[in-house]
Structure 1
Amino acid sequence: MSKRFLKITAENWLKKFYGESTSDYVSIEDIFVNTGREDKDEHVNRAWLYNMMSNLKPFGFFEKEYEVRNGVRATKGIRLTAKGRQVLSSQPSLAFERQADAVEEMREVSFTSVLEDVRALRTRHPEFDIIFDVRLKKEEEVSM
């Protein structure tokens, strides 16, 4: 049975591959580090990466770059396509997410702030129908 990624899953893996890099190119060694696989055997990592890239290929986020090793062509890294650049530019970096979490703790929560967050989620994730609904409770349901 073949495993097929949802677009959001593929986008998340692309983001992991690139980590905090701002370059269009990332080497396979950097991919292994960014995905926490730097301590694994190179042959195991290359097999894993080959399978991951096969699953990601239909989305067209990157092109492989090759080198010749011992007379055999091998993947040396990947380069973003326009689609891949769009994915990485539309998602906040990990550092930004950590900073946003810290700011969230200090921010006062109000209907206005929640509406702003819902608008941001709708913009970031147009594939979802995000609904924000507030209703006044019936008087007997309100406890004081």
Structure 2
Amino acid sequence: MTQTTGRFTEIPQDECLELMQTTTVGWLAFVDGEGQQLLPVNFVLDGSDIYFRTMAGSTISSLADGNDDVAFAVDHREEIYQKGWDVTAHGPTARVEDPDLIAQVAAGARPRPWAPGERDVLIVLRPRRISGRRVRRQ
């Protein structure tokens, strides 16, 4: 069996934020009353704050009540060239109560959910830590 070697390099936080802006879908990881959850979500980044919308009563809507330990991740890979990157943010979530921000998001329909149904719960994740890494086959 041939073993391949690769190389990991850390990505500075400012570049992590730039990379997060290159996509609109990420993954939320958290624990709720049903156990571990890992769910895709459309999002928009404002500074380092991550905003996403969901439907009242959904699994994700529980994050509007506040959860102190949520992870959010985005990634990109190029399988042909065997390289890619990932960025992960960790922090608490909260319901967005600011009526101006809610109106601004509603007017622009951002983040724009792909899933059907009314997504009227706006949640923010305010990262305490953002980290990233690149991997490349040598």
* TM-score normalised according to structure 2 size: 0.22
Pick the structure with more strand per residue: 2
